[in-house]
């Protein structure tokens, strides 16, 4: 009798195990079968639930029922075209690397996050300096160590997330904390130097940390117009920012290691 019970239990265990494995395989297959638009839709809805409704008929539909073209159907864009004339789909052209071996993917012009659709960001954060300013609040950066006042948008709770980052950074040992003391700034309505594109700082969603420990590709260009990747910012700091939805400019071919900006759709 005991042997029969044992055999029965073993058989049931195998059946349940096989069922769970089948469910896992089915979920994995379902993910593979999702179109690129569906994958991006899921990322955007998760990142911005108060703003994004869905993607349908090649249009991004916002929760207020307004729409934007998702994909302009221009294929094989040059890198300059991706930067200067991106559609919403182009923002996902490069995959943001989350592992510590990010240098292995930094091939020529691999800049995940530098491609920004201005209309998309303006829709959420404000289309003019005055509109953005209406949603700015002041946070205190590292209140026990620095106490710099920074202006950050309240849209998407970015101010809360950046304050939480500050609170975590505050607990780091001094040899790490020095990299984030005396931040260079957050909000400033401006175009990126040498371009007509708005900086992420224009929307109150970006911060530049201590310039004294930072590298920027334009600063390192030699007489032959070449540059080599440089960085001093420890990954312990980067990990804290990423945990709260901020990407790091140090993971760009055209690196900007002081720069962090709130782009959770590229991380989730």
The 10s digit of each residue's pLDDT in 215-265 is 999 999 998 889 999 999 999 999 999 999 999 999 999 999 999 999 999
Please, which pLDDT band fits residue 29 given cuts at 50, 70 and 90? low
Residue 233 lies in a domain: yes
Residue 261 lies in a domain: yes
pLDDT at 18 over 80: no
pTM, two decimal places: 0.87
* Average pLDDT for 74-101: 95
Q: Which comes out higher in pLDDT, residue 9 or 117?
A: 117
Residue 191 lies in a domain: yes
From start to end of the chain, where are the E strands? Answer: 52-56, 59-62, 67-69, 136-141, 148-153, 206-208, 246-248, 259-262
Residue 31 lies in a domain: no
What pLDDT shows up at residue 10?
A: 45
CA angle 27, 28, 33 (to 5 degrees): 95
Cα 169 to Cα 119: distance, rounded to the nearest angstrom:
33
Closest CA to 180 of 207, 199, 153: 207
pLDDT at 9 over 70: no
Q: Beta strand pairing status for 259-262 and 246-248?
A: antiparallel
Closest CA to 234 of 174, 189, 184: 174
Residue 36 lies in a domain: no
Q: 147 near 140, Cβ under 8 Å? A: yes
Mean pLDDT of the chain: 90
The 10s digit of each residue's pLDDT in 118-137 is 999 999 999 999 999 999 99
pLDDT at 11 over 80: no
pLDDT at 6 over 80: no
pLDDT at 26 over 70: no
Residue 168 lies in a domain: yes
Domain of 218 in residue numbering reads as: 126-266
What pLDDT shows up at residue 188?
A: 97
The 10s digit of each residue's pLDDT in 158-215 is 999 999 999 999 999 999 999 999 999 999 999 998 889 999 999 999 999 999 999 9
Q: How many Å from the N-terminal Cα to the C-terminal Cα in the chain?
A: 52
What is the number of domains present in the chain? Answer: 1
Residue 56 lies in a domain: no
* Average pLDDT for 10-33: 50
CATH number of the domain encompassing residue 183: 3.30.1380
pLDDT at 21 over 70: no
Residue 216 lies in a domain: yes
């Amino acid at each position: 009798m005991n042997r029969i019970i044992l055999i029965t239990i073993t058989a049931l265990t195998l059946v349940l195990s096989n069922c769970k494995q089948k469910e896992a395989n089915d979920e994995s297959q379902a993910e593979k079968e999702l179109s690129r638009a569906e994958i991006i839709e899921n990322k955007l809805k998760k990142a911005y639930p108060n703003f994004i409704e869905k993607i349908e008929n090649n249009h991004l539909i916002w929760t207020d029922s307004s729409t934007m073209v998702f994909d302009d159907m221009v294929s094989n864009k040059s890198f300059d075209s991706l930067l200067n004339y991106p559609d919403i789909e182009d923002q996902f052209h490069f995959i943001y690397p989350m592992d510590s071996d990010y240098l292995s993917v930094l091939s020529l012009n691999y800049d995940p996050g530098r491609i920004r659709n201005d209309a998309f960001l303006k829709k959420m954060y404000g289309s003019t300096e005055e509109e953005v300013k209406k949603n700015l609040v002041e946070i205190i950066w590292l209140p026990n160590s620095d106490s710099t006042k920074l202006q950050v948008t309240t849209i998407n709770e970015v101010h809360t997330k950046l304050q939480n980052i500050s609170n975590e950074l505050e607990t780091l040992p001094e040899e790490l904390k020095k990299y984030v003391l005396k931040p260079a700034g957050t909000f400033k309505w401006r175009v990126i130097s040498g371009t007509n594109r708005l900086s992420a700082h224009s929307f109150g969603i970006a911060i530049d940390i201590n310039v004294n420990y930072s590298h920027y590709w334009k600063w390192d260009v030699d007489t032959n117009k070449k540059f080599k990747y440089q960085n001093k910012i420890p990954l312990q700091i980067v990990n804290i920012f990423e945990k709260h939805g901020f990407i790091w400019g140090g993971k760009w071919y055209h690196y900007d290691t002081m720069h962090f900006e709130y782009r959770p759709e590229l991380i989730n």
